[in-house]
Every structure is written in C-alpha cells, then in structure tokens.
Amino acid sequence: MDVGGSLRSACLQHRRAALWAAGLALAAVAALGLAWSYFRKPRRVTRVGVVSQLVVHPLKSGKGLSVTSAECLTMGLKYGDLKDRHWLVITEDGHQVTGRQQPRLVFVSLNIDKGQVCLNAPGMEELLIPFRQPGNRIASCRVWGSDIQGRDCGDKASAWMTRYLACDQTFHLVQFEPQMKARKPAEKFSFFPQNEMIAYPDNGAIMLMTESSLMDLNTRLESKVTMSWFRPSIVVADSDSYAEDSWGEIQIGEVRLRRVMACSRCIFTTVNPETGTITRKEPLETLKSYRMCDPSEKHIFGTSPLFGQYFTVVKSGILHVGDPVYGVTY
C-alpha cells in the first residue's frame, strides 16, 4: 500500500469535509443574520397615531370600499375575496384604462357575494358574473409600460363596461389571479425590495396617508377635498401633518410596514369622486405650490407633487380601524 498516497487522500478528504462544514456554518450564520434582521425586536416603539380608515379598491380607479378590518398582505389589502386593485379595465389591445382617461370609473363599485362578482354604477343594472372563470382567455395587459396578465371576465362584463363608459371603443374587465406573473416595482424604482410584487396598482401595494396632512391641504384650498380624492389604503389619525414622510418603519398590531418612497401625484387627483368630473387643476396645483420634491430627486419625481407614502409589507397580518400605530426604531 502507498502510505504517502493514502495520507494525501485522507488529508484531501479531510480538507473537503472542513470546507463543506465551513460553508454550512457560514450559510447558517447568514440565515440567522437575515432572521435576526427580520424578526429582531425594536429598541424603541413610540405611538404615532391610530388607524382611522382602511380602504380596499378592488377595481383600479373604481370606487373604494371602506372596511373596519382587512388582511394586510404583501400584495396589498384583502377583504374576503376582494383584493386591492386586482381587477382592471383594458382596451381591445390590452392597455390599462384609468380615471385619468375615463373619470366616471370612480363610480364603479366591484364587490363579491356568494361566489359572484357584482358590478354597480349609476344608471346601470347590477351585473353578476362568476368570481372564477377558468375557461376564459388570459389577456396580455400593459400597466405603466409593464406587461402583466389578466383573466378576461367575459363578454357580459365587457358589454356592461363598454355601455357604461359610452365610448367609441370596446372595453374589457380582467382579473389578476395568484398563478399569474406579477409586476415588480423595483424594475421602475430601485427603492422597492427586489421581491416586492404587485398586480395593477400604480407603484406600490400599500399607500398610507394621515388625516392631518389632508387637513393642512384643505386650509390652502377654496373648495375642500376628502381622502377619497387620493385613494390611500391606510389612513392614520392623531398624528402631525406629514408625519408619514419621516416614518421609517411602523407597527400596527402584528403588521409591520417599512416606508419606501413618496407618492407622486398626477391629474387623477383632480377627478371629483362625488361628480366623476375632471378639472385638471385642483388640488394638484395647490400641492405643487408646497409639496415638491428636493431638487436632487427630480430625476425620480419630475414635476409631480408628493402626497402620501408607499410602504412595503415586512410582516403580514390583520389590520383594524382603531389600531394604534407605532413608530419603530432599532
């Protein structure tokens, strides 16, 4: 037997085993580090407000549904089978249709009752269609330049929406389903986590505003506006004006949210949710007078004013109106 060769072989095997064990140890340390950063306890928790409204908008640009409790998931609020901005109106060629082009969409309510989607709008009969229609075609859609899919809700929904909007074109209603490929906000804004996924919202899954910020805006307007002009998911009371701009991380019950970026505002804010008309002026012009970004951020926000903040969901859970909101620092 070649004793030297045996020793060399044993040493090589020992070295490989040591390297393998070291690799496992490093992986375990990394995993523990990630787990610690995710679940670590905050050094300080300070009450900063209370949840005063929770609003689910099932249909993009459609009427919001105010609820007393909702699941806060990584892709937005969920109430029963209703998921925030998981339904979308599109044109024949798949482009999104929003209140910017069709202001009367703000009157359309979408609900679910006994396994059926219920559509309602002024001057229209209620339309009931199945919640799940697996045999229907999957449409290719374009939402702010990104490709995404949607299950066509059928000819009846198309005819209903086309008749309601009364335009010289055909519209379709589509629904995002869990198995479909979602959009990644990080592809547009690097601030978002790479694993963040959304269906049909503009940018992020959770948009939060404070009542005091709206009150401050209204002191500057001749005609007051309500929170529904801005379509947030979560509204917080008992806080200072624009306090949401400085909340790095907040805790609401078991839910933990981390601020990502400000919400830039467009002409959709000039659609009156009570009349369904668009002025293209207020409150946007007033917001531009005092809520513009820092010059260093113009490449991100351009000439759009900032009002409200996008948050990413660090930990999912149930939210209730009346829940205290805590600012979290480490």
**What domains are there in the chain, each with its CATH number?**
44-54+184-329 (2.40.33), 80-175 (no CATH)
pLDDT of residue 1: 47
* Residues paired with 151 in a beta bridge: 138, 175
138 against 23, higher pLDDT: 138
User: pLDDT band at residue 32, thresholds of 50, 70 and 90?
Assistant: low
pLDDT of residue 7: 46
Residue pLDDT, tens place only, 141-171: 999 999 999 999 999 999 999 999 998 999 9
Say if residues 165 and 132 touch (Cβ distance below 8 Å): no
Say if residues 61 and 106 touch (Cβ distance below 8 Å): yes
pLDDT of residue 330: 87
Name the helix (H) or strand (E) containing 10.
Answer: helix 3-39
Question: Is the predicted pLDDT of residue 20 greater than 60, yes or no?
Answer: no
14 against 99, higher pLDDT: 99
Say if residues 84 and 201 touch (Cβ distance below 8 Å): yes
* Nearest CA among 246, 234, 291, 237 for reference residue 265: 291
Region 23-41: mean pLDDT is: 56
Region 261-276: mean pLDDT is: 98
Question: Is the predicted pLDDT of residue 184 greater than 70, yes or no?
Answer: yes
> pTM for the whole thing?
0.87
Residue pLDDT, tens place only, 197-227: 999 999 999 999 999 999 999 999 999 999 9
Question: Is the predicted pLDDT of residue 180 greater than 90, yes or no?
Answer: yes
